[in-house]
Structure 1
């Protein structure tokens, strides 16, 4: 059964493989469940506008065009197969609140069908508070001496205040046309569907249940109430119905505890595999590739994303290495974290290859220049099975393969994407391992075989929780925002080492020598008049109790 369909009423100038059903009419189409189509008119799970863009603009040979059109279908099918987003529906009643002045109210009433909404009207000056989400919005308003709560499903708010920007279901006719607002409100009442695009792993979240707040970047960049910090419990709460699918939270998450479900790290990996010896042209869907007229030289193939804002240094390096080419990103704006990630990758490639890995184009003129400039990077292709690896582990493994046995110096990371190197004063470290317990990305580990504290700097997020958790003064510090491009950066480094202390009574090893000596130095003067208590300082837990009981019997 064919899963791919190509529809164009004007036909196509060259044949397509048999895997693609080609038609010039929408009548008598076989009732297959198509996965990928080039046009919305031909119903399918995914609409790939990049197919017609490629056919229209590519300078590839005819043979390569035929092969690459099929490849674009397969890329979208791979994206579909690896997507983990889920769709939900929300019940929306016809209760609508109109927030505006009287003259604007008249404008809305003229544009509405009479009595189509259960309509309430207030002015913005009496609004005190707002909470909830589309389908269940609660507006607190002043009404004389008492506050009144008004429950509605959607709000039309002229010149909406900042308080309204974080909530779904609020529309401003000064931002989009009034008729478009009313059309959207009607559609929502008929069928409001939203996606769950955030997958969350609390075990590596650097906010979740920590005694001190060392991270909360996802909530800080979220433009809505989709992510909320519960400071009392240090938990994150997610309102998927409020998510605008902007993608910023994913790129700022240091550990990878948040993942973009429509195109997660596995999807990026499998999709990138199609781009070997190809120049990837990354285009977010908002850039309207369907109407983009830019001639592309041979071996340029579009790589379409829902949004580019979820890209991080790990996914970018994956695409770059698996293509063996520079990558062009066409986007009108970039978040700070994505810009920081691009800078990191480019600095690394400049250090080794003396050229940027990622070329940015913010408009069509820049895009034309970048597409002429883009080239392959000799000896840069890297592919390995990265399944099961976390975000930082993927970046570390790929970077290690790029560095090899060389030393390319250091790269500074920056304000929004952090790497770092933990340093320990071995003289004051007692190997209590509080830092190991604090590190949930396993950058800090303890080796029981040789009683060492070890660091893999390449996966450290420089969050600082180990620094906050260390009980010793002048012991643990972090050198932040640096990546060392040399082999030792990826190897476990011994930060501190000690011997185990044997109980003076039974000989059982029960603690590190430094820990025992520290406690003995603190408590020794206090127990100076009692030799038995002094001896307990060098005993295991069992022998300590036995000595104290024996001393108690003797005293009795």
Structure 2
């Protein structure tokens, strides 16, 4: 008779076989072209030229030395001295622009070294510190630690293979229509920019831009995006959730019990996983391109599908930015789980090693459910959270969250708010609205991502954020009135056009203004736009608009 562990291992084998051939929706490709023009940047002529000689069998090298000296040519290799100036390196495989500031002007190093070139395909940085500081530098840029001979040899070997045509997946999709980055010049959410280890995302004012040639598929941008404006494309969240749910279903159907899902990346994670073998029978290992792409929508969908734990396998290769942001996301989820009476440890980042997947505090058994496998992040999150609340040992009507959480309400000070509606005009998530002609501010909490644009835009400083999770789906989706006042009617035609408070504040602020000292001019401030224009041209009290 099989032991429980052997029984679970057999069920796991059947489940893994069931998902082995499940496909992923294809994504577009990003192409690179390299002719092998490599720039070696260093401080020591001998070591830089030694590297150049080793590379010239496969590539076309040139050398830039960040020291004083006379530009020359050595063994047919052009050498340029920067005279102590630090170069600026930008770009990616096939298109690196390297510049120096000379006499207040920007000089192109490629042109200085070879008049036929305007860029380099590859860069080998042998300086004391890397000129590109991204945790994940661009494809084609190598900066082995200074003095590390083995790392230099690995870089030289990799460089020799980077001549020709290359492709990689385009790892992301971006919908600027639901991006909460900025509105009307007011900066809001910068989570993706701050989290990207490749520094591939930049602000374009109202929206952001992900540079596909710099993006290396870390996925943390999609994980931290509160609206789902950035989604991971390889695989899509819907594909990963569907794969996960299918895996869990087949595991249960074949008699498996207490499933634990372990996500690992296909490089460093796969190596560590091999050293952890054999895994306990109930551990279902799921390979992903990058660990940072596994967001809370996927993790919570796994708990809802019946996983007792959802684990992420940390590795030394995981960028610090990715690790920090994953921990922050898991922290928000942990607060919710704890409030519902579930263990925080059911979602966690683990280090590889003996006993890493063992836990003394797994999720209690719940009725498994399959949430809709959707790329609409908040739809998936709320569906999973609603099911967990329904199954919770301690169901809640609302849960207070930490600052930075993507859910919450806003508070409006009725004594300060003039209902100018500046907040509703800039809200990127349509959480705030001003319906009809009545001065009324309405709020739909399920849409709010706590970006803070409304708070910053309010001229009266009447708005503050309140991160929380409202667990009642109806209350989240129905607009509620935050502030309402009787309208102020035009003193000429009777048309409602503002609030009493707004007119009172305008009159008060302009009380000492020289253009509003006579009664007709002050009365004009209490007229609607049309009546003001008519009154001005009729000449009653001057020409002040």
1:140 — aligned with what? 99
1:412 — aligned with what? 401
| 1:72 aligned onto 2:11 | no
Q: Distance in 2 between matches of 1:513 and 1:144?
A: 62
Match of 2:323 among 335, 355, 358: 335
Q: Distance in 2 between matches of 1:145 and 1:210?
A: 35
Gaps of 5+ in 1: 1-57
Q: Distance in 2 between matches of 1:462 and 1:221?
A: 17
Q: Distance in 1 between matches of 2:298 and 2:175?
A: 18
* 1:338/1:219 CA distance change after superposition, 3 Å: same
Gaps of 5+ in 2: 68-81, 111-118, 253-258
1:325 — aligned with what? 308
Report deviation, 1:362: 0.6
| 1:500 aligned onto 2:487 | yes
| 1:300 aligned onto 2:283 | yes
Q: Which moved more, 1:288-297 or 1:311-320?
A: 288-297
2:354 — aligned with what? 365
| 1:149 aligned onto 2:115 | no
Q: Distance in 2 between matches of 1:360 and 1:454?
A: 39
User: Is the contact between residue 224 and residue 329 of structure 2 (CA under 8 Å) also seen in structure 1?
Assistant: no
Q: Which moved more, 1:543-552 or 1:258-267?
A: 543-552
Q: Distance in 2 between matches of 1:554 and 1:467?
A: 39
User: Is the contact between residue 59 and residue 296 of structure 1 (CA under 8 Å) also seen in structure 2?
Assistant: no
Match of 1:104 among 40, 44, 47: 47
Q: Distance in 2 between matches of 1:451 and 1:314?
A: 37
Q: Distance in 2 between matches of 1:554 and 1:149?
A: 66
User: Is the contact between residue 173 and residue 230 of structure 2 (CA under 8 Å) also seen in structure 1?
Assistant: yes
* 1:512/1:382 CA distance change after superposition, 3 Å: farther
2:71 — aligned with what? none
Q: Distance in 2 between matches of 1:292 and 1:103?
A: 41
Query: After the TM superposition, which residues 108-257 of structure 1 pair with which residues of structure 2 at under 5 Å, given as runs?
Result: 108=51, 111-112=54-55, 115-125=57-67, 126=82, 127-140=86-99, 149-150=109-110, 151-159=119-127, 161-166=129-134, 167-174=138-145, 177-208=151-182, 210-230=184-204, 233=205, 235-257=207-229
2:116 — aligned with what? none
User: Is the contact between residue 380 and residue 402 of structure 1 (CA under 8 Å) also seen in structure 2?
Assistant: no
1:284 — aligned with what? 265
Match of 2:388 among 387, 402, 427: 402
Report deviation, 1:189: 0.6
Report deviation, 1:496: 0.4
Q: Distance in 1 between matches of 2:432 and 2:542?
A: 47
* 1:198/1:124 CA distance change after superposition, 3 Å: farther
Report deviation, 1:225: 4.3
* 1:420/1:553 CA distance change after superposition, 3 Å: closer
Report deviation, 1:90: 1.6
Q: Distance in 2 between matches of 1:63 and 1:168?
A: 42
In the TM superposition, what whole-angstrom CA distance separates every residue of 1:92-144 from its partner, at most 9, and x where no partner exists?
A: 112122234344346536745x6432221233443432233221223235899
Q: Distance in 2 between matches of 1:511 and 1:409?
A: 35
2:74 — aligned with what? none
TM-score (norm 1): 0.74
Q: Distance in 2 between matches of 1:117 and 1:387?
A: 46
Tell me the SS of whatever aligns to 1:365: coil
User: Is the contact between residue 329 and residue 361 of structure 1 (CA under 8 Å) also seen in structure 2?
Assistant: yes
Q: Distance in 1 between matches of 2:437 and 2:303?
A: 39
User: Is the contact between residue 424 and residue 495 of structure 1 (CA under 8 Å) also seen in structure 2?
Assistant: yes
Q: Distance in 1 between matches of 2:168 and 2:241?
A: 26
Query: After the TM superposition, which residues 348-497 of structure 1 pair with which residues of structure 2 at under 5 Å, given as runs?
Result: 348-356=336-344, 357-370=346-359, 373=360, 375=362, 377-379=364-366, 381-385=368-372, 387=374, 389=376, 391-403=377-389, 406-407=395-396, 410-414=399-403, 417=405, 419-448=407-436, 451-472=439-460, 474-479=461-466, 481-483=467-469, 490=476, 492-497=479-484
Report deviation, 1:435: 0.6
1:92 — aligned with what? 34
CA RMSD of aligned residues (A): 3.8
User: Is the contact between residue 195 and residue 221 of structure 2 (CA under 8 Å) also seen in structure 1?
Assistant: yes
User: Is the contact between residue 94 and residue 153 of structure 1 (CA under 8 Å) also seen in structure 2?
Assistant: yes
Q: Which moved more, 1:499-508 or 1:114-123?
A: 499-508
Match of 1:346 among 334, 355, 367: 334
User: Is the contact between residue 94 and residue 189 of structure 1 (CA under 8 Å) also seen in structure 2?
Assistant: yes
Higher relative contact order structure (alpha carbons within 8 Å, sequence separation ≥ 6)? 2
Tell me the SS of whatever aligns to 1:478: strand
* 1:408/1:346 CA distance change after superposition, 3 Å: farther
In the TM superposition, what whole-angstrom CA distance separates every residue of 1:13-37 from its partner, at most 9, and x where no partner exists?
A: xxxxxxxxxxxxxxxxxxxxxxxxx
Report deviation, 1:485: 5.9
Report deviation, 1:154: 0.8
Q: Which moved more, 1:143-152 or 1:294-303?
A: 143-152
Tell me the SS of whatever aligns to 2:209: strand
* 1:393/1:284 CA distance change after superposition, 3 Å: same
* 1:215/1:335 CA distance change after superposition, 3 Å: same
Q: Distance in 2 between matches of 1:131 and 1:353?
A: 50
1:269 — aligned with what? 241
